[in-house]
A and B are shown apart, each in its own frame.
Chain A
Amino acid sequence: GQNIDQPTEMTATEGAIVQINCTYQTSGFNGLFWYQQHAGEAPTFLSYNVLDGLEEKGRFSSFLSRSKGYSYLLLKELQMKDSASYLCAVRDSNYQLIWGAGTKLIIKP
């Protein structure tokens, strides 16, 4: 079967750094996506990785290791507005997205 695993909830302090991990087992791999979802709102796109390595975009970075079936999202200089759920999704061999359940990130002052 296909499976995306990520922690259910994490807590971090404003101004700090947090790493959200995602492991996957899917039928084929055609890229990994990270989305942010604030409570009661729609998911919004953060990053896309298809090759191994680190992609940096401002305060957010995403890393991929295809051989390990592993990705992480790194958030630096945390702000209160970063409190949200972070969704990991893998595009499988049928080019459909398989979604993890999301990681709820709580930022404390």
Chain B
Amino acid sequence: IAGITQAPTSQILAAGRRMTLRCTQDMRHNAMYWYRQDLGLGLRLIHYSNTAGTTGKGEVPDGYSVSRANTDDFPLTLASAVPSQTSVYFCASSGGTGGNEQFFGPGTRLTVL
């Protein structure tokens, strides 16, 4: 693994289903983030984690949950998917809570029907 990986690359999901998007980084970064990107809008922060064992809510957290059991992994779960959650989801990490630029994974394109 080099950098940040995300899985799956894309997914079509029926409304009401549960879905977990996976994110793994091998840079030993403390901070990790989940964003969604929708056409015409900037990246919007869903949840973040400043260090393993802690998480926080971003701008658009409703309908999503995260966990940070270790430094490398930061999964995002949609408990019961709705069509408005159709989006491209990016995971990112940075070396500190405030200092450094964020490095992004390749993204997951999710369609909820």
Among A38-46, A62-70, A73-81, the one that faces the other chain is A38-46
Name which residue of chain B comes closest to A91, CB basis. Answer: B98
Q: Is the CB of B101 within 8 A of A45?
A: yes
CB-CB under 8 A from A42, the residues of chain B are 90, 104-107
The digit string for B68-106, where 1 denotes a CB below 8 A from any CB of A, is: 000000000000000000000010000001100111111
Distance between B103 CB and nearest chain A CB, rounded to angstroms: 7
Name which residue of chain B comes closest to A45, CB basis. Answer: B101
Complex Cα distance, B103 from A43, in Å, reads: 8
Complex Cα distance, B98 from A97, in Å, reads: 10
Looking at chain B's contact residues, the main secondary structure is loop
- In the assembled complex, B44 has its CB within 8 A of some CB on chain A: yes
Q: Is the CB of A96 within 8 A of B43?
A: no
A4-B42 in contact given A42-B106, A43-B104, A96-B48 (Cβ < 8 Å): yes
Which residue of B101, B104, B105 is within 8 Å of A33 (Cβ)? B101
Q: Is the CB of A99 within 8 A of B43?
A: yes
A97-B105 in contact given A42-B90, A91-B98 (Cβ < 8 Å): no
Complex Cα distance, B40 from A102, in Å, reads: 8
CB-CB under 8 A from B106, the residues of chain A are 41-42
The digit string for A48-91, where 1 denotes a CB below 8 A from any CB of B, is: 10000000000000000000000000000000000000010101
Q: Is the CB of A45 within 8 A of B103?
A: yes
Q: Is the CB of A43 within 8 A of B43?
A: yes
A101-B42 in contact given A42-B104, A91-B98, A95-B98 (Cβ < 8 Å): yes
The digit string for A27-40, where 1 denotes a CB below 8 A from any CB of B, is: 00010010000000
A-B contact pairs, 21 of them (CB 8 A): A41-B106, A42-B104, A42-B105, A42-B106, A43-B43, A43-B90, A44-B104, A45-B101, A87-B42, A87-B43, A91-B98, A95-B98, A96-B45, A96-B48, A97-B45, A99-B43, A99-B44, A100-B42, A101-B40, A101-B41, A101-B42
Instruction: Spell out B's residues near A (CB within 8 Å).
Output: 40-45, 48, 58, 90, 97-98, 101-107
